[in-house]
Structure 1
Amino acid sequence: MPKTITAVFLLVAFLFQSCKKEQEKPLLAEALEVKKPIHDSLLLSIPFPLNSSYPSEDYMLQKKIAISNFYTKTFEPVDFSGSFLVAKNGVILYEKYRGFENFEKKIPVTSTSSLHVASISKVITATAILKLVQDNQVQLDQTVQSILPDFPYEKTTIRTLLNHRSGLPHYSRFPETIKGWNSKKVLTNHDVLDYLKRYKLALVFKNDTKFNYCNTNYVMLALIIEKVTQKSYAEALNTLIFEPLKMKNTFVFDYLNQKNDVSQSYKSTKVNYGWDQFDALYGDKNIYTNPRDLATFDLATYSSEFLRKDLWEEALKGYSYEKRGVRNYGLGIRMNEWETGQHLHYHNGWWHGSTSSYVTIKKDTVVIIGISNKYTQKTYQSIKLSRLFGDYPYELDSQNVEQ
């Protein structure tokens, strides 16, 4: 073949391949977009390594349709005011915000609104204690009295506070048992400890003999956190959890200074619950947060660099088997344990008009969060959505249970 013909042939071949590559570029880019269609606004992150992957576009679309159907049928008929979110592996599958933080001022609930999650605060308090265990500052089976000398019950341990097996009397019943009770006094955590000692209040049962859910346990745990860290409960949680995880809209309620600033709690759109003498107590409640921050916290529970795996295992196992049944309690977390071997962890909250639900499906790396500041028990129905992610024995409409 003559040299001129060969040169022309090679030039044509080169131009053809170049054109072909130029045509392939947008196709390749398009293919990459299909593989990673998730918008950054739907991603949650933590500063700890995780071994997880993003769900597919088909998976996300399928779940979003099913969750939307559930939300519409469950929450819209009750004129829901609050926030709702479902995420998998740090990817938000669905979220919804409606109603008002403050109905009088018409301040709407948004993705950054901090609402009172009531007893879900116990999950955070327990995690703070476990972080202190990890740092060798306390031990789970250490007696409370060794840290709080004024605590009057010798055998109570940190573990039996965490799993509600201490038998401590309920502070909400102090007015019934203490003569001359001052109903106008707003109690502090230290007041609760002082009353336990001063009035020698009897245990409901002997330590570690059975389960009895009691807010007093977590009021004491908050005092332990303060004593060990030499910080206020709010400052300690900021240091141990909120700041490391960048939970920017999460805080511990300051009763004296924030009553007029936080989201309100409602019986109806026109009736505000107001405050009572137990509203300054913390550890058992009084954490304000939003679904995105809480889902970020949940994501951290899958990282052993945030908290050691063996400590999560201690927290997630059941401790009360005196009676047969599905329900049990770990260290700051509720659980359902079915005979089929399925396990599901969660915690609900209620205080005044605020109700909340935190469902963490460990096997399927899914979190479901519902928070309301206008009273409704529908929030607790959120756990039924677990049926969308595994073989959990909850019933939903057929159109909602597509796998």
Structure 2
Amino acid sequence: MNLTKKANILYLLLPIAVLASCKNDSVSKKKDTIEIKDADLPKNVLPKMKPMGKETPLTADYIAEKKRYIESFYRKNWPNNSMNGSFLVAKNGQIIYEKYEGYSNLRDKTPITDTTSIHIASVSKVLTATAVLKLVNAKRIDLDQKVTDFLPEFPYPEVTVRMLLCHRSGMRSYAYFTDRDKNVWDRHNTLTNQDILTIMGTKNIKLEQKTGTRFAYCNTNYAMLALIIEKVTKLSYRDAMAQIIFKPLGMTHTFVLDFDKDKHNVAPSYKANRVEIGIDYLDKIYGDKNIYSTPRDLLKFDRARNSPSFLEPELLAQVYTGYSNEHKGTKNYGLGIRMINWETGKNFYFHNGWWHGFTSSYITLKDENVTIIALSNKFNRSTYAVRKLSVIFGDYPFKVKDVE
């Protein structure tokens, strides 16, 4: 690696070192020395987090009580051990319940364990958004900066980074405009993020609605955010995510798919009837999807994201602010997170995912400091039902027939 590239990586890492304290000069100098030498974060070192408020160890009685409810829910939600995935519930960072069952690959009967990395589908958006927010925190990006500042060929001049994060750009889904017209894209060729940008800039792809007028969930937003991350960091999205998020948090089983190298080496996905789903021309796109992870790694991520030292308080408040209020209702979207805002003042934060046969659910109960993760590589809508478990931790108005 040449000195220029080392310097670029160091310039990125120093201002966004995740959760590390800068108060001790001697520690800082030692850390800088390691980074200069290795052009990387120290191996196998997870920076110590500040306490997440008043956290006390869970009692054996508390764990036993909650575990009984969760086990009952699990049996009813996935009868006859039908999940084929991984599932975890934790409070204060302490795992109350976890379950791994089925096979990551049905052909060779490879069992799913706590180290099995599964495609987390659109839960990837939460991690992509977080990398962008770390760059905002480091003053490398401004939330209201125009996308054209980073991507000059981007054809929609009014779209900002914030609009990409909260799905208010008005863009069309790349899956639609590349699927319906061979003059736009030949589906025999694998689509890339840069291809999407080039197509929008040269093929007169119209907006779905006027920029900034309403919320419309669209994967294209996060494909563009991945390109912005690459532009700002001068790293591939894969390497940038590792440097900014995965390595600092000790997420050792989390990675962005290297499509050309590993597309046949990762866990495949299956239909509900266990028929394997093959690879298609959209499987190389990243930012909106294509992160593989485990529940334990996502627990580390959730702990970090909600810690006092991860993002500036003012920025974190904007993350959990709803940006889709043009129609009265409880459903909303922040900066890379879905939410339900009830009139009682209670808020529920989560993100689901679905790609091919992969389904995923990430739930962060901020008031109760609870994390719920469910990942599966066999299509099953029951993955999304784990939100019902929130009722055993707080006053969440979900139906509770599966929790007894």
Superposed, 1:4-403 pairs within 5 Å as 47-50=48-51, 51=53, 52-77=55-80, 79-174=82-177, 175-177=179-181, 179=183, 181-268=185-272, 270-397=274-401, 400=403
Cα RMSD over matched residues? Answer: 1.4
Alpha-carbon distance, 1:200 to partner: 1.7
**Contact 2:89 2:371 (C-alpha < 8 Å) held by counterparts:** yes
TM-score (norm 2): 0.86
Partner-residue secondary structure (3-state), 2:180: helix
Distance 2:58 2:399 in 1: 24
- Structure number with the higher helix fraction is 1
Write out per-residue CA displacement over residues 53-112 of structure 1, whole angstroms, 9 at most, x where no aligned residue.
Answer: 222222111101111110111013471100000001110000000000100011000000
How far apart are the structure 2 equivalents of 1:302 and 1:161? Answer: 22
For 1:94 and 1:232, locate their aligned partners in 2 and report how far apart those are by CA, in whole Å: 36
Secondary structure at the counterpart of residue 307 of structure 1:
coil
Instruction: Output the CA distance in 2 between the equivalents of 1:339 and 1:99.
Output: 40
Structure 1, unaligned runs of 5 or more: 1-44
Alpha-carbon distance between aligned partners in 1 of 2:139 and 2:211, rounded to the nearest angstrom: 24
Q: CA deviation at 1:261?
A: 1.2
TM-aligned CA deviation for residue 179 of structure 1:
3.0
- Paired residues of 1:46 and 1:299 also in contact (CA < 8 A): no
Give me the whole-angstrom Cα distance separating, in 2, the residues matched to 1:180 and 1:223: 20
Query: Which one has a bigger Cα radius of gyration?
Result: 1
Contact 2:86 2:99 in 1 (8 A): yes
| Contact map agreement 1:83 1:97 (CA 8 A) in 2 | yes
Letter in 2 for 1:148: L
Paired letter, 2:68: I
The 2-side partners of 1:89 and 1:241 are apart by: 20
Partners of 1:177 and 1:170 in 2: how far apart? 14
Q: Report the residue type matching 1:49 in the other structure.
A: K
> What is the distance in 2 between the residues matched to 1:264 and 1:278?
15
Contact 1:46 1:300 in 2 (8 A): no
State how far apart, in whole Å, the 1-side matches of 2:274 and 2:394 are. Answer: 40
Give, in whole Å, the separation in 2 of the partners of 1:287 and 1:255: 11
CA distance in 1, matches of 2:354, 2:223: 16
Distance in 2 of aligned mates of 1:348 and 1:136: 29
Supply the distance in 2 between the matched residues of 1:115 and 1:97 (Cα, whole angstroms): 12
Letter in 1 for 2:50: P
Task: Find the residue that maps to 1:371 and give its secondary structure.
Answer: strand
8 Å contact kept, 2:184–2:199: no
SS in 2 for 1:207: coil
How far off its partner does 1:302 sit?
A: 2.4
SS in 2 for 1:379: helix
Indicate the SS of the match to 1:76: coil
**Long gaps (5+) in structure 2:** 1-45
User: In the TM superposition, what whole-angstrom CA distance separates every residue of 1:326-370 from its partner, at most 9, and x where no partner exists?
Assistant: 110000000001111110000000000000000110011001111
Deviation by residue 1:274-328 (Cα, 9 ceiling, x = unmatched): 1100000000000000000001100112222222222221111101111111110
How far apart, CA to CA, are the structure 1 residues paired with 2:237 and 2:294?
19
Q: Report the more deviating stretch, 301-310 or 217-226.
A: 301-310
**Aligned pair in 2 of structure 1 residues 252, 271: CA closer, same or farther (>3 Å)?**
same
Any idea what SS the aligned residue of 2:276 has? coil
Q: How many residues align?
A: 356
Per-residue deviation at 1:259? 1.4
Q: CA separation in 2, counterparts of 1:286 and 1:249?
A: 14
